[in-house]
Chain A
Amino acid sequence: MASETSSGVIKQGLVLTCAKCSTKNYLDPYPFWNFSGNTKCAGCDALYAVTFVKGQQVSGPTASSGKADLLPGYAEDKTGAGITGEGKIRPAPQARPDPFTGQQKQITKSLRGKPLSGSRLKKEDLVGSRARFIADLHKT
């Protein structure tokens, strides 16, 4: 969040609020801690030149031109809605191709396609402490 210094210049920080569209761009600490170059607002693509030294913003954000050297790690628009997508923010480390859904993933089969109790159950689905559909696999 931007804060004012006594000289009246708005001093930003690692959270860069875009002067044009009020999008909050999160310049995450590892890549941006000692960074000098252009970053890009995820909301409106405005380019900003910034310099950070040990996380302290020593210059910028000033309007810039050219291309972005490093994208923010994440961004939220002025309503708080998250902004994602290629060319907007850096991709998230992912364990597999399908995108994060925000829901607890439910599965009933393992990678090998065999039964696995990975989905919510109800009391009537149980035999003792075990899912019935697993217990039934071994019924003789």
Chain B
Amino acid sequence: MADTTFPKHKVLPWPAVPIPTPDEVYAGLTDQAKEYPLSLEKQLRQSENFKKPENLTTVRVLDLSKGMIIGNWCSSMLSELGSDTIKCEPPDGDPLRWQTPFGRKEYMIKDAETGEPIGLHFLHEMRNKQSITLNLEKPEGRELLKKLAVHVDVLIENYPPGQFDAWGIGYRQLKEINPRLVYCWVGQKGQWGPSKDKPGNLDPTAQASCGFVHGTGLPKEFGGRPTRSAMWMADQVGGTSAAIGILAALLYRDKVSGKGQFIEATAAEAIIRILDYNWGWYGFDGSIRPRYGNWDLAINIYAVNPCKDGYFMVGGGHDRLWYRIWRTVGQTRPDLEDEILDDKALRVVTARLPHLRQVKTYTVLADWQKDHSRADAMHQLLAQQVASGGVNYIDEVAEDPHFKYRGHVDEIDDQLYGKVLYGTSPLLEDKAPARLKWIGRPLGYDNEEIYLKLLGLGPAEVAGLKKRGVV
């Protein structure tokens, strides 16, 4: 299994602190007060998932993407909602499979059957998918893809622009073979245009090209620089957009047209879509939205600032909350509360927004925060019904009672990979909820099954294909 010298420290089983029970969570509430949350629980508890049907059981997805998380994310959205999802990798696997933080092989997990290691990033996004291999570099491989295309509803690929078309397996060709096929290309910046994708472009290419990186991080006046997301976040948002397009296309096909179509979803344009008001602001008068760190250009108080044991978020843009925040601060630092209340300029909501007023607000607030831990500050503010919370580290996320209770984080006892802690699908539904069936898949694990089931190729034929380097 894993390297036996690692980890050297003791690893607590999850959860380290038991998940609260409903009685503990709703203690002290009247039956009437408990009624609503309990009725929601009854409809949404993930322990009931497998008793219920799935939204997309009639849909089969073939995900040919590699090297980027955008395609994997998109197919995860569909696979968690019940689609029969096949990940089709080159014979030596999706490169993501072998990647691991800092190259640390000890971070990988080996499966119980083949002993093959898998990188945790790829593992987390290989959920509910089967793995086949196929060599598209070979003409015979491309012929097999054409045959597979007959049997799938959705095809996802992220190859360099025009590659599949040049190989005779692009949208233009496959739609002749399967007119019902929904063909989705995903990438960073697009298949066409002056800055279209070059082979090898990866997130944060999209993040940098769309204005996101420029706008994230401390302002230069604070000594900061433009900052990328820790995640390949543009890929995650782009993959979500792609899933929206695919579902819309399936709906239209099955209700109206009987035909598939070509979808193009880029990570950069998905971010451009949601970059708040960058574009409207520019159109007013050429304003270039500045980086504003952990404060907000449009709302004060709505920021994260340092505190005794980390970083802490407080929100309260409107008067009701503004005064309650300062009342909380005043309990231990009346001088700071006075500092704010004495300032006539801060009495009007919109007058709190200019940068210099925000500097004053947050300097005063931070002088209070420096003496309080995240938990302590949150507790005090909650008593005044002010929303606040700490910036959580990963272990705190995994152990948060609310997240454990609702199953935001859960542990699967996977048949192949054993106990794996993972982020669950947030798509909770009463009738046909999303769910996890398995978390990873060794390379080509399902070759025999899929090639027989879909193409009638028996084990001997598949072995021959393998020998010829076609799968």
A interface residues, Cβ below 8 angstroms from B = 1, 3, 13-15, 26-31, 33, 54-56, 73-74, 76, 80, 82, 84, 89-96, 100, 102, 104-105, 107, 110-112, 116, 118
Residue from B283, B287, B294, B360 within 8 A of A74 (CB atoms)? B360
Query: Of A73, A104, A105, which one neighbours B359 at CB under 8 angstroms?
Result: A73
CA distance A55 to B277 in the complex (A): 33
| B339 at interface, CB cutoff 8 A | yes
Q: Are A1 and B339 in contact (CB under 8 A)?
A: yes
A-B contact count (CB 8 A): 110
Selected contact of A29 from candidates B285, B288, B339, B366, CB within 8 Å: B366
A56 to B366, CA, bound (A): 10
Please pick, from B289, B305, B351, the residue contacting A95 in the complex, using a CB distance under 8 A: B289
Q: Known pairs A55-B307, A89-B356; list 20 more (Cβ under 8 Å).
A: A14-B370, A15-B367, A26-B359, A26-B363, A28-B363, A30-B224, A30-B293, A31-B222, A33-B306, A55-B366, A56-B370, A74-B356, A74-B359, A80-B343, A90-B222, A93-B291, A93-B292, A94-B290, A96-B287, A107-B285
Given A15-B364, A28-B363, A30-B306, does the pair A92, B355 have CB atoms closer than 8 Å? yes
Contact across chains for A100 and B336 when beta carbons are under 8 A apart: no
Query: With the chains together, A92 CA to B291 CA distance in Å?
Result: 11
Judge if B445 is at the interface, Cβ distance under 8 Å.
no
Could you give, for residues 347-382 of chain B, a 1 whenever the CB lies within 8 Å of some chain A CB and a 0 otherwise?
000110011100110111011011000000000000
Contact of A90 among B221, B284, B288, B338 (CB under 8 A): B221
A96–B286 contact, CB under 8 A? yes
A56 to chain B, nearest CB (A): 6
CA gap between A96 and B287 in the complex, in Å: 5
Max chain B Cβ within 10 angstroms of own Cβ: one of A14, A94, A107, A118 = A14
A74–B355 CA distance with the chains assembled, in angstroms: 9
The answer to whether residues A93 and B285 also contact, given A29-B362, A74-B360 and a CB cut-off of 8 A, is no
Residues of A within 8 A of B50 (CB): none
Alpha-carbon separation in the docked complex, A74 to B281 (Å): 26
Taking CB atoms, residues of chain B closer than 8 Å to A28 are 222, 359, 362-363, 366
